[in-house]
Every structure is written in structure tokens, then in C-alpha cells.
């Protein structure tokens, strides 16, 4: 009986404001708060609030028969708390059902694993602790930012106790094999590797509202028939969807929400199918073999590699300059610098510098700068100001301000003062 693993990817980026050379040394406000708020509130209205309510109803209707998972980034949680706490309330209600799993990641939705294992470990630990604090359960599964994965990541996660890691079922890695099985990484018995079934996942998240798509319109019954066809050679079918697809990327009027409402019933009518969470899959399904992934994969673009974030000299220059500050920032211990340094690590900043597509950004996730060159210039201006603040913090640490005479001594009140 094939298992169905549904995982919704929930991520919101903090957008930088148009930070010019004239702002350097004058203002350390890097983010566009108004735009971030407006965007989050719009997506909450179109997607998060109605979909959370829909999924909660499905979980309650089908009891333990319907399950799903959420991979919520740290920057998404930040914005929910800041702008729309009712969204977190919706996720908490889902968590309380016991049929929903929350998947860990990096707190900054960063590519830290590529540049600093110390920073990566810190962010994973922080995000795991936050998910436990908010939703009441320690995460047992892991999804790296943008599903970036290779063999070394599996080894690093094994030490952290994760049971499952979610990754892309890239054709150049799979070869003749199917993504519809559990695998293990070489030299790592845990975590088990759950690979996204890319064609089935993208038929919903990317193609659903495209009238030029040969399979339009997509119905729950048609999609179930495709899953049934795939189940002839499968232990598990992993459907990893960007949550934005349900209402933000594809408007409610396209039928995407109705599709999701009808899908569990259509699938559960076939007794061969059962829903399962990632950590349950790792516990209940035996891996079918080793999956060797020496190079990094991701779920973006046709190549399923890192070129959307590191494909040109601008991106490489920006990310190397940023991570070069890491040890110095940690040495200062300055909480404001540490906060800003983490937020600047978000993979979205480097994605906005990509020259692979000038018009390839999805409608619900546009480049806030319009072109990659302005994105790069803005980011480097921000880094210039950040470095000035870092140098100032280092000087203060080496030469602290002298204490005023009598500072630190307890005040003694005389009896005449009323004691």
C-alpha cells in the first residue's frame, strides 16, 4: 500500500529597501518594512488563513487518515509574529490535531551549510528549538533551504538525530531509479532520504492554472489516477508543494482550493493509498538502497542545482563577502549585529541577483528590484554599512568606554533620607 507524503513549503522573504550609497553610514535600516507587511498580509488573506482552515477541516473530517507536514522557515515565522499572528494560531490548531508534522530547517532560510558549518549548526539548533516552543514537539525531519542537499548534509544531520531529510528527486541523480522509494545516503544510516516526485508536485504547484498546459484543467480525480499509475512502482509518493500555490500563485478562482479540498477523498477512496508524515515514513518504510549525491541538488530550475543562487560572479562575490564576516560578528557578541547578519543570509537575496531568468520569477515571488543588478548593488551597499558597524563594535570591544567614577558601587541611603 503506497504512502502519500504531503509537505507544504512555507517561506516568506524579508525584502531589502532601495539602499543607496548615500545611505551608507547614515542609516542601518536595511529592510522595506512597508512592503514586507503589505506582501505578508496579502498572502495571509489569499493563502495562509483559508488554507489553514481548510486543512484543519480535512484533518478533523478524516481523523488520522489524512496527514500532512509543513516546512516553515524562520523568516516566515518572524513575519507571522510581526504582522499576522493569527496565521500562527492556525498552524497551532493544526499541530494540536496530532496529524501534522513540522519540519526543521535553518532559522534564516540560508545556504549556511555551504560556507559555515558552525553557523549552519547554530541555525538548525535555533530553528528546531523554536518549532518545539511554538508547536509543542521537537522536529524529527529536516528540509534545507530550497531543498539543497548532498551526501555531506546527511552525515551532518545524522549527528543531530533527525530521522528524515527531504530533498529533490533530480533526474541526473536518480538515473534509472524512482523517487517513489526511501533511500539512504552513503555512510549514513539515518536520516532516511525522502525525494520529491517532481512531475506530480509541479503539476499542482506550477502548472495548475496554465491554460496552455495539455492537462488543464486538473481535477482531483485526474490527479488521483496519476498517483495510481505511479503506485505500481512505489513505496511512497512525496508531494512537496509551495504553500503559495494555493491561493497566491494560483488564485482561488482557478479552482486550486477546491482541488485541495477534494483530493483527500479522491485518494482515500482507493484503499491502496494512505497518508503519512516524513518521520513516520522513516519509521515504517524500509529504504530500498543507497542514493549517492556527491554534488548539491535543489528543487529550482531545470538543472536542479545551485546556479539560481551561485550562478554568476555577482552572487558569488556577495555571498563570499557576507560569510567572511561570520567569525568577526560572532566575536563581538553584539545581538543587533548577529540579528542583522542572520537576516542577510537568506537565500532570497542571492536568488534576486540571478541572471538566468529576467522574466522567470513566479508571479507570487517577484524580484523586488526588477533586475539582478540593482539587487546586487543594494546588497553590497548594505554590506558596506554593515562592515562599518562591525568595525565600530570591534573597537568598542577592544577599548570599552571608561567607567564613571563610582559606577558599579551600591548607593547607600542615609537615615535622614527617610530610611
Q: Is 280 a catalytic residue?
A: no
Q: What is the pLDDT of residues 194-213, one digit of tens each?
A: 999 999 999 999 999 999 99
Residue 414 lies in a domain: no
Could you tell me if 316 and 111 are in contact, meaning their C-beta atoms sit under 8 angstroms apart?
Answer: no
Higher pLDDT, 250 or 407: 250
Higher pLDDT, 415 or 85: 85
Summarize the confidence of residues 378-400 as an average pLDDT.
92
Residue 300 lies in a domain: no
What pLDDT is recorded for position 242?
97
Q: What is the pLDDT of residues 282-321, one digit of tens each?
A: 999 999 999 999 999 999 988 999 999 999 999 999 999 9
pTM to 2 decimal places: 0.92
Mean pLDDT estimate for the chain: 93
Could you tell me if 190 and 170 are in contact, meaning their C-beta atoms sit under 8 angstroms apart?
Answer: no
Residues 26 and 130 in one domain: yes
Q: What is the chain's length?
A: 419
Neighbours of 370 (CB within 10 A): 12
What pLDDT is recorded for position 400?
65
Torsions phi, psi for 300 (to 5 deg): -100, 145
- Sequence-ordered list of residues with C-beta below 8 angstroms from that of 22, at least 6 positions apart, any chain: none
Summarize the confidence of residues 209-235 as an average pLDDT.
95
What pLDDT is recorded for position 272?
85
Nearest to 243 by CA among 230, 260, 262: 260
Cell numbers found for residue 114: 555551504
What pLDDT is recorded for position 358?
53
Q: How confident is the model at residue 356 (pLDDT cuts 50, 70, 90)?
A: confident
The Cα 74–Cα 78 span in angstroms is 6
Choice among 53-57, 179-183, 355-359 with the minimum mean pLDDT: 355-359
Last residue of a domain, one of 222, 250, 284: 284
pLDDT at 188 over 90: no
pLDDT at 412 over 80: no
Higher pLDDT, 325 or 1: 325
Residues 275 and 369 in one domain: no
Q: How confident is the model at residue 224 (pLDDT cuts 50, 70, 90)?
A: very high
- Sequence-ordered list of residues with C-beta below 8 angstroms from that of 188, at least 6 positions apart, any chain: 151, 154, 155, 157, 158
Last residue of a domain, one of 249, 284, 319: 284
Q: How confident is the model at residue 407 (pLDDT cuts 50, 70, 90)?
A: very low
pLDDT at 275 over 80: yes
pLDDT at 363 over 70: yes
What pLDDT is recorded for position 415?
40
What pLDDT is recorded for position 233?
86
Domain count along the chain? 2
Burial of 354 (0-12, 13-18, 19+ CB in 10 A): buried
Cell numbers found for residue 215: 492537462
Residues 266 and 312 in one domain: no
pLDDT at 86 over 90: yes
Residue 416 lies in a domain: no
Q: Residue 215 sits in a domain of what CATH number?
A: 3.20.110.20
Question: Hunting for cell 533551504 — which residue is that?
Answer: 145
Residues 266 and 327 in one domain: no
Residue 105 lies in a domain: yes
The Cα 156–Cα 347 span in angstroms is 20
Summarize the confidence of residues 57-81 as an average pLDDT.
97
Q: How confident is the model at residue 160 (pLDDT cuts 50, 70, 90)?
A: confident
User: What's the per-residue H, E or C state across the chain?
Assistant: CCEEEEEEEECCCCCECCCCHHHCCCCCCCECHHHHHHHHHHHHHHHHHHHHHHHHHHHHHHHHHCCEEEEECHHHHHHHHHHCHHHHHHHHHHHHCCCEEECECCCCCECHHHCCHHHHHHHHHHHHHHHHHHHCCCCCEEECHHHCECHHHHHHHHCCCCCEEEEECCHHHHCCCCCCCCEEECCEEEEEEEEECHHHHHHHHCCCCCCCCCCCCCCHHHHHHHHHHHHHHCCEEEEEEEHHHECCCECHHHCHHHHHHHHHHHHHCCCCCEECCHHHHHHHCCCCCECCCCCCECCCCCCCCCHHHHCCHHHHHHHHHHHHCHHHHHHHCCHHHHHHHHHCCEHHHHHCCCCCCCCCCCCCCCCCCCCHHHHHHHHHHHHHHHHHHHHHHHHHHHCCCCCCCCCCCCCCCCHHHCC
Q: What is the pLDDT of residues 233-264, one digit of tens each?
A: 899 999 999 999 999 999 999 999 999 999 99
What pLDDT is recorded for position 117?
95
The Cα 145–Cα 72 span in angstroms is 10
pLDDT at 408 over 70: no
Question: Hunting for cell 525522502 — which residue is that?
Answer: 194
Residue 147 lies in a domain: yes
Residues 216 and 329 in one domain: no
Residues 179 and 37 in one domain: yes
Q: Which of 146, 168, 280, 342 is catalytic?
A: 146
Residues 120 and 245 in one domain: yes
What pLDDT is recorded for position 410?
41
Residues 68 and 119 in one domain: yes
Residue 214 lies in a domain: yes
Residue 289 lies in a domain: no
Residues 194 and 124 in one domain: yes
Residue 415 lies in a domain: no
Residues 255 and 331 in one domain: no
The Cα 125–Cα 129 span in angstroms is 6
What pLDDT is recorded for position 119?
97
pLDDT at 78 over 90: yes
Q: How confident is the model at residue 364 (pLDDT cuts 50, 70, 90)?
A: confident
The Cα 197–Cα 181 span in angstroms is 10
Higher pLDDT, 61 or 366: 61
Range of the domain at 379: 308-398
Could you tell me if 23 and 64 are in contact, meaning their C-beta atoms sit under 8 angstroms apart?
Answer: no
Residues 242 and 101 in one domain: yes
The Cα 111–Cα 346 span in angstroms is 7
The Cα 389–Cα 337 span in angstroms is 8
Residues 279 and 374 in one domain: no
Amino acid at each position: 500500500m503506497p504512502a502519500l507524503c504531503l509537505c507544504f513549503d512555507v517561506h516568506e522573504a524579508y525584502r531589502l529597501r532601495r539602499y543607496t550609497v548615500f545611505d551608507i553610514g547614515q542609516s542601518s535600516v536595511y529592510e522595506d518594512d512597508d512592503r514586507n507587511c503589505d506582501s505578508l498580509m496579502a498572502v495571509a488573506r489569499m493563502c495562509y488563513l483559508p488554507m489553514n482552515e481548510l486543512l484543519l477541516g480535512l484533518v478533523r473530517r478524516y481523523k488520522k487518515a489524512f496527514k500532512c507536514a509543513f516546512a516553515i522557515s524562520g523568516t516566515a515565522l518572524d513575519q507571522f509574529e510581526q504582522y499576522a499572528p493569527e496565521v500562527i494560531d492556525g498552524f497551532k490548531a493544526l499541530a494540536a490535531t496530532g496529524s501534522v508534522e513540522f519540519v526543521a530547517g535553518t532559522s534564516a532560510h540560508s545556504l549556511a551549510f555551504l560556507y559555515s558549518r558552525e553557523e549552519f549548526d547554530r541555525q538548525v539548533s535555533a530553528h528546531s528549538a523554536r518549532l518545539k516552543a511554538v508547536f509543542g514537539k521537537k522536529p524529527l525531519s529536516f528540509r534545507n533551504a530550497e531543498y539543497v542537499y548532498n551526501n555531506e548534509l546527511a552525515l551532518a544531520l545524522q549527528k543531530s538525530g533527525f530521522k528524515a531529510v527531504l530533498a529533490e528527486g533530480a533526474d541526473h541523480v536518480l538515473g534509472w531509479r524512482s523517487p517513489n522509494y526511501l533511500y539512504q545516503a552513503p555512510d549514513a544510516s539515518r536520516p532516511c532520504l525522502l525525494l520529491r516526485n517532481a512531475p506530480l508536485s509541479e503539476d499542482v504547484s506550477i502548472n495548475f492554472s496554465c491554460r496552455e498546459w495539455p492537462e488543464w484543467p486538473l481535477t482531483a480525480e485526474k490527479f488521483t489516477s496519476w498517483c495510481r499509475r505511479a503506485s505500481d512502482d512505489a513505496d511512497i509518493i512525496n508531494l512537496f508543494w509551495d504553500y503559495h500555490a494555493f491561493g497566491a500563485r494560483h488564485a482561488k478562482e482557478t479552482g486550486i482550493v477546491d482541488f485541495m479540498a477534494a483530493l483527500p477523498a479522491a485518494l482515500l477512496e482507493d484503499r491502496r493509498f494512505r497518508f503519512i508524515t516524513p518521520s513516520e515514513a522513516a519509521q515504517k518504510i524500509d529504504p530500498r538502497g543507497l542514493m549517492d549525491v556527491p554534488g548539491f541538488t535543489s528543487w529550482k530550475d531545470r538543472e536542479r542545482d545551485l546556479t539560481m543562487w551561485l550562478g554568476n560572479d555577482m552572487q558569488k562575490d556577495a555571498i563570499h563577502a557576507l560569510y567572511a564576516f561570520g567569525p568577526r560578528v560572532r566575536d563581538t557578541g553584539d545581538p543587533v549585529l548577529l540579528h542583522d547578519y542572520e537576516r542577510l543570509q537568506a537565500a532570497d537575496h542571492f536568488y534576486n541577483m540571478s541572471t538566468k531568468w529576467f522574466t522567470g520569477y513566479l508571479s507570487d515571488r517577484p524580484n523586488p528590484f526588477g533586475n539582478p543588478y540593482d539587487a546586487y548593488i543594494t546588497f553590497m551597499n548594505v554590506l558596506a554599512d554593515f562592515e562599518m558597524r562591525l568595525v565600530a563594535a570591534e573597537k568598542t570591544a577592544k577599548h570599552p568606554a571608561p567607567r564613571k567614577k563610582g559606577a558599579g558601587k551600591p548607593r547607600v541611603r542615609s537615615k535622614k533620607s527617610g530610611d
